[in-house]
Amino acid sequence: MQRSPFTLLLGLVVAFDLVFLAVPTLVVVVISFTSGNMVAFPPEGFSLRWYGVLLTRPEFLAALGRSLQVGLVCTALAIPAGTLAALALARWRIRYPTGLQLYLLLPFTVPLVVSGIALMLLFGRMGMLGQVWPVGLAACVINLPFMIWAVAASVNHLDPDLENAAMNCGAPPTHTFFTVTLPAVAPGILTGALVMFILAVNEFLVSLMLVDARIVTLPVLVYNAIRNIITPDLAAVSVVYLLIAVIAIWLLDRLVGLGILLESKRS
């Protein structure tokens, strides 16, 4: 069957997009295995030396640990906040629901630079700067809509009759929530938690405004390094980020499936 010119053009555009998305990542991965001292493509031989260099750099290990702490703090705060917000918007009769939804979407409408400056001034006035956990709190604030969308996708598939049946059998609302509602929306909670963790670990702009030399996170460490010279160890750091994302996506697919994530994006 002969394809129309529009179909061929659409296929070329899709193929170009896929290649454009994949090639930069593949180039960085290949460069990270170079045996040379400079960033070059194709690389000068194959070696794992730059991964060994990372393991011997205490500043890298410390920054990676702080970024993981930021991700854990962000996830721990986002799970209850995003879950309860999604349930409230989907199930409860609240006043001005549209206004509340717009309020929860404010992090997407306010530029990150503005959010970073506002949070820096707020945390500075409260004496919270110089610590890691406020960075996790900031990452939670600016990325919370992702958590809400993921949980909302599960809530929209939850049959209200299940909760009604539990309450008709005498279960109090709290017991119904923990034994019926929460297990039913658990796939959305897990999806949102993994997404929030990845976003928090990779958060740069807001982190740049909230950290100092004592608590530099990994994105800020990379930024400070590339201001001088780009070396292959920075490519190895990029591969570490890639591995974190791949592991998170693999866990998501194994535990709940990627379908729930795609459905949350369409909700």
Six-digit token string for 241: 């980020």
What pTM does this model have? 0.78
pLDDT at 263: 53
pLDDT at 245: 79
pLDDT at 117: 83
- Give residues with Cβ within 8 angstroms of 89, minimum separation 6: 97, 100, 101, 104, 148, 152
pLDDT at 73: 92
Closest CA to 159 of 217, 243, 91: 91
pLDDT at 3: 64
pLDDT at 264: 47
Helices then strands, counting H and E runs in the chain, come out as 15, 0
Q: How far apart are CA 34 and CA 22, in angstroms?
A: 19
Q: Which amino acid is at 193?
A: A
Q: How far apart are CA 150 and CA 158, in angstroms?
A: 13
For residue 247, what is the DSSP state? Answer: H
**Upper half-sphere CA count for residue 22 (Cβ side, 13 Å):** 6
Q: How far apart are CA 163 and CA 166, in angstroms?
A: 5
Q: Where are the domains of the chain?
A: 49-266
pLDDT at 74: 92
pLDDT at 158: 72
Asked if residues 155 and 201 have their Cβ atoms less than 8 Å apart, the reply is: no
Architecture of domain 49-266 in this structure: Orthogonal Bundle (1.10)
Q: How far apart are CA 137 and CA 126, in angstroms?
A: 14
Average pLDDT of each block of 10 consecutive residues along the chain (267 residues)? Answer: 69 79 78 74 75 82 88 92 83 67 73 81 82 88 86 76 71 75 81 87 83 81 76 79 80 64 50
Q: How far apart are CA 144 and CA 6, in angstroms?
A: 39
